[in-house]
Amino acid sequence: MAIATETQPQQQQQQQQKGSSEVAAVDQKRWTLNDFDIGKTLGRGKFGHVYLARNKLSNHIAALKVLFKTQLKESQVEHQLRREVEIQSHLRHPNILRLYGYFYDQKRVYLILEYAAKGELYKELQKCKYFSEGRAATYVASLARALIYCHGKHVIHRDIKPENLLVGAQGELKIADFGWSVHTFNRRRTMCGTLDYLPPEMVESVEHDANVDIWTWVSSAMNFCMGCLHLKQRNTQTHIEELCKWI
């Protein structure tokens, strides 16, 4: 479950707008649905479906995420989507899912995303229960490199978890879902992310910074090695003890 409560002072909001505008100005090309051949459904999300798509001109394969405007409006997540597009479209890292561009029509918003051929890491984790140390270590290192890159660009993801990680054709990890991310030079107060992975700063409602991604990175690392389902049956005390052992 993703959660959020906004408690930003006005000054921080102004800074955030400044920060967002610095990473704004997305892909200038004006795409339309006619530019793509649409293939199989890759999955379904809260606000729409994701399809395999091929650009008719270049033959480039992508994942087209189709979101319904009415649903975005009802859930009041338009602002979040705008921020996701602004931030993700400017990130270039082998372990971060590319967002090539977007377009919209009367009813829908379309995101043109890099296609992650091996799908969701979470599903793979559910299948295997847990990963071998070698495989887990590869993911942990990839995740660390991608987060170092993001933090170097003053981007905090704020919702790292196996459910938000995809896997490319070569088995490479790709961070996806930048819905809670923020581009900022300041500490933040928004409580957001996912309950199971909530860092102490969020629980205590105090200001946070890029270190929240370190907490969720460690939690994800634990899940890679021990399995999500297994962890969720444990109480917080055990969870923290396990975390300390791992660190």
Q: Which is nearer to ligand ATP, 44 or 127 (CB)?
A: 44
> Judged by CB under 6 A, does residue 171 bind ligand ATP?
no
Torsion of CA 15, 18, 20, 26, to 10 degrees: 180
Strands (E), the chain: 2-5, 36-44, 48-55, 61-68, 99-104, 108-113, 155-156, 165-167, 173-175, 182-183, 191-194
> Judged by CB under 6 A, does residue 119 bind ligand ATP?
yes
> Judged by CB under 6 A, does residue 222 bind ligand ATP?
no
**CB crowding 77-105: b at 16 or more within 10 Å, else e:** beebbebbbbbbbbbebebbbbbbbbbee
Q: Give the residue carrying structure tokens 């200038």.
A: 28
Is 27 a residue of the active site?
Answer: no
Residue 113 beta carbon to ligand ATP: minimum distance, rounded to whole angstroms: 4
From the candidates 105, 159, 209, 213, give the one annotated as an active-site residue: 159
Residue 247 beta carbon to ligand ATP: minimum distance, rounded to whole angstroms: 28
Instruction: Compute CA distances 46 → 2, 16, 19, 214, whole Å.
Output: 12, 26, 28, 27
Residue 12 beta carbon to ligand ATP: minimum distance, rounded to whole angstroms: 25
> Judged by CB under 6 A, does residue 108 bind ligand ATP?
no
Select the residue interacting with ligand ATP from 120, 159, 201, 213 (CB under 6 A).
Answer: 120
Instruction: Compute CA distances 115 → 35, 39, 193, whole Å.
Output: 17, 12, 24
> Judged by CB under 6 A, does residue 64 bind ligand ATP?
no
Catalytic residues: 159
Binding-site ranges for ligand ATP (CB under 6 A): 42-47, 50, 63, 65, 97, 113-116, 119-120, 166, 177
* Binding region: 46, 65, 114-116, 163-164, 177
* Binding region for ATP: 46, 65, 114-116, 163-164, 177
